[in-house]
Structure 1
Amino acid sequence: METHMIFETHAHYDDEAFEADQEEILNSMQECGIGRIVNACASIESLKDTELLMEKYPFVYGAFGIHPDDADKMTQETLDEIRKLCQLPKAVAVGEIGLDYYWHKEEAEHELQKKMFCAQMEIAREEKMPFMIHSREAAKDTLDIVKDYVRGGMYGGIIHCFSYAKEMAREYLDMGLYLGIGGVITFKNAKKLKEVVEYAPLSQIVLETDSPYLSPEPNRGKRNDSRNLIFVAREIAQIKGITEEEVIAVTEENAEKLLLR
């Protein structure tokens, strides 16, 4: 019988939270049922760190892009670097990219974020790569940009750490995109997200942690890592009335189809 392993589509193992025991944790993944991991870039420094992780661990892949929080640090050189890294054999996506208005309230900041978001979506289109979207308190602008690009032809993508309501989920699902579901689904107060997961077809869900952030129950508040994904799979299984094995198998298949083609 084929054994399925959890495919972790979004983690940050280059984060300083893993400085002391990164190797130990990553070396324990396979025996804990984690088959593959995508290390997603966020900062400019993480481009190089992700490339190194990808080279060191056969099961680690890379998503290359800059988080909207660092939009003001990006130059043409950064974009050229992302493009170059996307051509590596184990590069699987452009990400994490998008919009984050939580800390950034100024119109000028929003404009700069949108500009850099679009520049990276262009790279995804030209390099025929899927994208990984980060969107926080920027629901409408994110949707407008994604819609615009998908209309012009893209190669799929994940709305990472999906946090909006069912109506917004429908928009993304109708475009054939995937929702990244992580630890928040296990929180008691995550009513909105539980409704989204109930509504979304399993064939358009992928598992992710956003490690070291957003640990699921029962480890909420502690440093997160991919081994906690079993709690996420369990919660999705419960919501959908299926087995956790089915959740693991289908989400693994989804991630392979999108990221490893």
Structure 2
Amino acid sequence: MPRYDSVTRLGLAALVCAALSACATSRTAEEQELATAMEARATIVPAGQAERQAIRTQDLLTQAAFWAEQHDLNPGDREAAIEFVRILRALGNEQRASDVARQSMALYPDDADLLYLYGLSLTTSGRGGTAIEPLSRARAARPGDWRIINALGVAYEVAGLSEEARNRFREALAIAPGEAAILSNLALSYAMGGQAEQAEIMLREAIARPGAGAQVRQNLALVIALQGRFDEAERLARTDVSVETAEANMAYVRSMLTTQRRWDAIRGDGAR
């Protein structure tokens, strides 16, 4: 399978630029730059399916460059838009991800994948209230997808609507019983409501499920720490993070619990 090579494609644009500069002395610099960009774009053809499949095995930055080019070449390319948004989110660029998703939704207003990714980006950026509408539309378009319903629950929680959030988590669990990610989010909702003991029970159930990862363990460590069992929480946290990070996290929880607004501080964090 061919490997995407950014040097090949971007180098082509540079060569075109060099060729044009030799014969465009009568143009302004701005006109020449525009002509160069248009000429370079015309020489690039969309990647075939074999190349698109091969790129998914490359590192994130290489994938980002590839899908950015494909999306720029044809903004109506649904696959390129979705992959570009996913990679942007993986790189932590939620603002750019939400921008690309929103622009693509102008062409595909009812696309469940774009609505879902857009809602995720908004929620991760702390805009849970804004994320409810696109995620609700994604849920309507694909009602049996527990991931969309789970994400909608998180959006409600970030927006401060805990009861509605728990209803959505329970709805997701009815589709995917015992799914660790859903149990973990439901547990955190209880924790932010001041029910740390109930949250711990649910997180211990979640951590025993197949597919439970580092985030579930870190959530359990947080809930244990909120009950004052810092040594136990730190030992669990060290499974996935450095000693220094685990100690810093426990120090933060200790300082938070010394205030009068212990649960308000947790609720205001909104982290997932």
- Is the TM value for this pair above 0.5? no
Q: Which structure would you say has the larger RCO, counting Cα contacts within 8 Å and 6 or more residues apart?
A: 1
Larger radius of gyration: 2
When you count helix as a share of all residues, which structure comes out higher? 2
When you count strand as a share of all residues, which structure comes out higher? 1
